Amino acid sequence: MKVGIIGAAGRMGRTLIEAVLANPDTELAVAVDVPGSSLIGADAGELVGQGRLGVTIGDELAALAGDADVFIDFTVPEATARHIEVCRAAGSRLVIGTTGLNDQQLATLRAASEQVAICFAPNYSIGVNLCFKLLETAAAVLGDDVDIEVIEAHHRHKIDAPSGTALRMGEVVAQTLGRDLKECAVYGREGRTGERERATIGFETIRAGDIVGEHTVLFAAEGERVEITHKASSRMSFARGAVRAAVWLGGHERGLFDMQDVLGLAGGSAGWGRG
């Protein structure tokens, strides 16, 4: 499988390059970054300490979109929306880990999936996707008899909040309980907020230092509580999952999928039921 990395010079981009090189089923074919980057023209292998590969970092995706079977994009919403259009025109599959897409950008993604295969997930960690299924079970068992809070922490450079993973966790719980997250979510509290309403799902966000990613969903009742927690210590956990998704997409011509599909966990509230 020939893989292209978008945003190759960034922290996540470099980790993705390493993950592609480490996977026996993938070959790094393309690496692109933003125009004006000082690393344009550099060898992608040397960028990650793997020696020369003969894959130079380019700055124009449209010129390279046909050189890879699938592209992996962990960038920013505005850029990802453009990349989707370019890859759709070239017939290239896409693995998207960008979070914070608005409704219009999501509509662009869905429309493109009618022509090419796209995997779109808020988190590509195997452990996080297992947590989605565990959350579905916990919500179904504990029902409406607990208070539910989602607490997440990331590094100081993350620009969106709450994280896409935290929101997806909230969605899984809300859907399992028959609630609409847009109506029951509470994002932070300050001042005299009054007594907590049972049906709400609270979100707390921490941004500090170099925290890779930590998520906890708290189910609290009188006398006991259940916590489902995932802690990432390396971006490689996300990168390996994204590369696994890229290989899996090789068996699909078109459709919209997520990591629940890739891992065979689709169904219920944890999977988006797409494809």
Tell how strand 117-120 and strand 255-257 pair up.
Answer: parallel
Does 154 qualify as catalytic in the annotation? Answer: yes
CA–CA gap between residue 99 and residue 230 (Å, rounded): 18
Catalytic residue among 83, 133, 154, 215: 154
CA–CA gap between residue 210 and residue 117 (Å, rounded): 33
Catalytic residue among 2, 155, 158, 252: 158
Contact 257, 264 (CB under 8 A): no
Q: How far is CA 251 from the centre of its chain?
A: 21
Does 182 qualify as catalytic in the annotation? Answer: no
* Cβ neighbours around 14 below 10 Å, total: 21
In which region does residue 125 sit, left (phi positive, over 0), alpha (psi from -120 to 50) or beta (all else)? Answer: beta
Burial of 269 (0-12, 13-18, 19+ CB in 10 A): buried
Q: Please list the active-site residues.
A: 154, 158
